[in-house]
């Protein structure tokens, strides 16, 4: 099992223990060495899982004591890199994805300015419709560099694009840059998301995703129906003082 898969499994187990009250708010969770013994994994795996719990807003390190469970929200921060499948698991809804279009594309001058990819870069262009509990909720367009995923197929990414990129190809997704806007909705978008005529705008998240060497892998636009969109961000103050 690849490390990136294993630490996410440990993260999910610890997160569930927090959500079900095994580790209640205000209490410390077991230390690294205890968790290593309990779960039979390496220290690096535990540290990665703990770092993800911290960035997701579930725990906070207390100097000299350990990691304490803090007040949390089930919504996923916009700044987290997470797949739609993982999001459904975390928030308790039934996810479904329909791949509308899968093709290869060459980046033009115009696309280069919009996406951040160099001109003439070959990419996979993937259009998907996301359903939350059977309701069409998100229109996704993803461009993935073809040289980093040359053998990608429509079937390979049917369950999860990120599972394929990380689990099958061993790529390490490090961070993303996101822009959140609310543009006017088009007639086609309104029909696709089954919204009524009173809905004039759509929530749009434009993202550029990078590997751990600051190499851009992905450009995406996700268009959310407003009644299925929730934003939550956990922000910790930098207490270095002025």
Residues 25-75 have pLDDT tens digits of 888 999 999 999 999 999 999 998 998 888 777 888 888 888 988 865 544
What CATH number should be reported for the domain holding residue 168?
Answer: 3.40.1410.10
- Residue 178 CA, distance from chain mean position: 11
In this structure, are 122 and 220 located in the same domain? yes
Q: Which domain holds residue 161?
A: 76-228
Beta-carbon contacts of 14 under 8 Å, excluding residues fewer than 6 positions away, are 23, 29, 35, 49, 50, 53, 58
In this structure, are 125 and 193 located in the same domain? yes
Torsion 165-92-12-57 (CA) sign: positive
In the chain, the N- to C-terminal Cα span, in Å, equals 46
User: What are the structure tokens assigned to 112, written together?
Assistant: 């280069």
Q: With respect to residue 173, please indicate whether it lies within any of the assigned structural domains.
A: yes
Q: Which of 49, 69, 89 is the last residue of a domain?
A: 69
Closest CA to 87 of 44, 37, 130: 130
In this structure, are 59 and 86 located in the same domain? no
In this structure, are 222 and 126 located in the same domain? yes
* Mean pLDDT of all residues in 78-99: 71
- Pairing, β 135-145 against β 173-181: unpaired
In this structure, are 86 and 184 located in the same domain? yes
Percent of the chain with pLDDT over 90: 51
Domain count across the chain? 2
Q: With respect to residue 181, please indicate whether it lies within any of the assigned structural domains.
A: yes
Question: pLDDT higher for 9 or 223?
Answer: 223
Cβ 234 vs Cβ 57: under 8 Å: yes
In this structure, are 38 and 151 located in the same domain? no
In this structure, are 202 and 84 located in the same domain? yes
In this structure, are 37 and 101 located in the same domain? no
Closest CA to 233 of 72, 77, 73: 77
* Predicted structure pTM score: 0.65
Question: pLDDT higher for 156 or 83?
Answer: 156
- Looking at the chain, how many residues does it have? 242
In this structure, are 86 and 37 located in the same domain? no
What CATH number should be reported for the domain holding residue 61?
Answer: 1.10.10.10
């Amino acid at each position: 099992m690849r490390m990136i898969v294993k630490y996410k499994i440990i993260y999910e187990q610890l997160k569930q223990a927090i959500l079900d009250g095994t580790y209640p708010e205000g209490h410390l969770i077991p230390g690294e060495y205890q968790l290593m013994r309990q779960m039979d994994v390496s220290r690096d795996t535990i540290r990665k899982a703990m770092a993800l719990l911290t960035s997701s807003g579930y725990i906070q390190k207390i100097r000299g004591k350990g990691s304490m469970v803090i007040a949390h929200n089930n919504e996923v921060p916009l700044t987290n890199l997470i797949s739609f499948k993982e999001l459904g698991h975390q928030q308790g809804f039934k996810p479904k994805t329909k791949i509308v279009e899968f093709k290869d594309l060459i980046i033009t001058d115009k696309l280069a300015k919009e996406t951040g990819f160099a001109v003439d870069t070959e990419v996979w262009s993937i259009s998907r419709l996301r359903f939350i509990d059977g309701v069409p909720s998100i229109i996704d367009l993803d461009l993935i560099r073809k040289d980093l995923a040359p053998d990608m197929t429509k079937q390979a990414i049917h369950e999860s694009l990120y599972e394929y990129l990380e689990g099958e190809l061993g790529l390490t997704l490090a961070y993303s840059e996101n822009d959140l806007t609310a543009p006017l909705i088009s007639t086609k978008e309104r029909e696709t998301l089954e919204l009524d005529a009173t809905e004039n705008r759509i929530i749009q998240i434009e993202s550029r995703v990078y590997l751990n060497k600051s190499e851009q892998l992905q450009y995406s636009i996700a268009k959310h129906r407003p009644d299925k969109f929730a934003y939550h961000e956990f922000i910790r103050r930098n207490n270095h003082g002025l």
